[in-house]
């Protein structure tokens, strides 16, 4: 017998009994399925992964040789949507919206006078905003560097063009959910239990 247990807002159980060729799904999302046939490979597949899938997972295998327990933890990473804009008062604003974890923002040329704000959202994502004053700058462009485990973005703004009444320049990325294992990013999560 193979049993996967996951704790979300409710308790989820996905099980397979070899001797009767029976599967059981108790309170699990339809996104959680067996990757293959559970009698040949009891790996669990979660697709698509979302923030609610974070947590601890356990697998128990019971056979003639004994009981075996395996544990795993899932952390979900969300790439932020990134924008770069100017206002009429000579301020450049770089925003990394709804990322998990929070993105890091830096500027080229380096600016020790940037202002940073952070908004924590109820779903666990974070919006980080960094702004700098550019009026009377000697540099022709400013670049915002956004660093995040799921994506890195570099956005540049031509300050000479911006001074010619350009009110907003938006450059964005999509905000999709991804699960990360190590450094790589995948769009579904597969657990294997041996």
The pLDDT, as a whole number, for residue 160 is: 73
Task: Tell me the pLDDT tens digit for each residue of 2-52.
Answer: 999 987 667 889 999 988 989 999 998 899 998 888 888 888 999 999 898
Does residue 142 contact residue 113 with C-beta atoms inside 8 Å? no
Task: Tell me the pLDDT tens digit for each residue of 130-153.
Answer: 999 887 778 888 899 999 999 999
Closest to 14 in 3D by CA, of 36, 40, 41, 33:
33
Average pLDDT, the chain: 81
| Domains of the chain from N-terminus onward | 2-76 (2.60.40.10), 81-170 (2.60.40.10)
Higher pLDDT, 110 or 129: 129
The pLDDT, as a whole number, for residue 65 is: 92
pLDDT band at 173 (very low <50, low <70, confident <90, very high): very low
């Amino acid at each position: 017998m193979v049993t996967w247990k996951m704790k979300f807002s409710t308790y989820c159980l996905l099980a397979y009994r070899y001797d009767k060729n029976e599967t059981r799904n108790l309170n699990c999302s339809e996104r959680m399925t067996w990757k293959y046939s559970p009698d040949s490979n009891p790996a669990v597949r979660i697709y698509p992964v979302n923030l609610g899938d974070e947590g601890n997972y356990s697998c128990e295998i019971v056979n003639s040789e004994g009981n075996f327990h395996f544990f795993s933890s899932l952390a979900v990473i969300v790439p932020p949507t990134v924008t770069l804009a100017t206002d009429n008062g000579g301020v450049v604003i770089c925003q990394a919206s709804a990322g998990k974890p929070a993105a890091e923002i830096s500027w080229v040329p380096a600016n020790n006078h940037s202002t940073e704000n952070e908004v924590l959202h109820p779903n666990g994502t974070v919006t980080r905003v960094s702004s700098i004053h550019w009026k009377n700058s000697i540099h022709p462009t400013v670049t915002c560097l956004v660093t995040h485990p799921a994506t890195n973005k570099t956005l540049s703004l031509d300050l000479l063009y911006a001074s010619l009444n350009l009110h907003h320049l938006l450059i964005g990325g999509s905000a999709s959910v991804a699960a990360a294992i190590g450094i790589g990013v995948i769009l579904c999560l597969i657990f294997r239990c041996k």
